[in-house]
Amino acid sequence: MNSKVLNLSGKECYLYIRPETKYMLIQPVDDHDLGLLDREVDLIQTLSDIPFSLAAFKIHDWNSELTPWPAPPVFGKEPFGDKAGETLTFVTERFLPMLKEMDIDVSHCMLGGYSLAGLFALWASYQAGSFEGVVAASPSVWYPQWIDFASVNKPQASSVYLSLGDKEEKTRNPVMAQVGNAIRRQEELLREHGVNAILEWNVGNHFVDSEKRMAKGFAWLLNNKIE
């Protein structure tokens, strides 16, 4: 698998390319994710025999670039923004076209992310038909008004992998404590719309094994791929 780093519209893009595959995994990442990306790619290859490429791009303002509408802080003092639409436009109108120009097959795209990036991946599946599958690993489905949104909108992805740590809902923060109920409801809503959905529970809190949780999700999509 060939790897390279590019800059596109001010965003650092990290490419792990296998030319002979038609399955492209897309992932927004931060510095923590970047440090684990090599390990994640290796784990996906261990968990699936399906050849794939992975293309990641760096998010600089995590609380703004991944969220679809503003919300007050739930920890710390930094509020959430509404630039998820701009990030999705970057993916569909800049990132994927760049890959095509490099003669990389993006005919079967899967979008995934961890934490707020997982929420972004879910939201993007309601906005665009570009992604056959979505990985939302420990997604921030506690986000204010998210379940209200998911209750009245229809996702366009055909397969969605959800996961959560079994300790994540055991928090004193009253907003984030809703994550367990919210992700259970999210799975129900996906199934009601005929989406091939799974919810997997992992051991631990939100801050452990993020690369393993992402790898399991992408491997599940690959192993349940749609021709």
Q: What's residue 96's pLDDT?
A: 96
Spatial CB neighbours of 118, under 8 Å, sequence gap ≥ 6: 112, 135, 136, 137, 138, 139, 140
Q: What's residue 75's pLDDT?
A: 81
Helix, strand and coil in the chain, % to nearest 5: 40, 25, 35
Can you tell me the distance from the alpha carbon of 147 to that of 136, in angstroms, rounded to the nearest whole number? Answer: 14
Can you tell me the distance from the alpha carbon of 147 to that of 112, in angstroms, rounded to the nearest whole number? Answer: 19
Q: What's residue 226's pLDDT?
A: 53
Enter the pTM of the model. 0.96
Spatial CB neighbours of 169, under 8 Å, sequence gap ≥ 6: 177, 178, 179, 180, 181
Q: What's residue 227's pLDDT?
A: 47
Ranges of the chain with pLDDT below 70: 226-227
Residue 14, token pair as written in the block? 């990290």
Phi-psi region for residue 114, left (φ > 0), alpha (ψ -120 to 50) or beta? beta
Closest by Cα among 15, 91, 25, 29 to 60: 29
Cα 176–155–205 angle (5° rounding)?
25
Q: What's residue 207's pLDDT?
A: 87
Can you tell me the distance from the alpha carbon of 191 to that of 113, in angstroms, rounded to the nearest whole number? Answer: 20
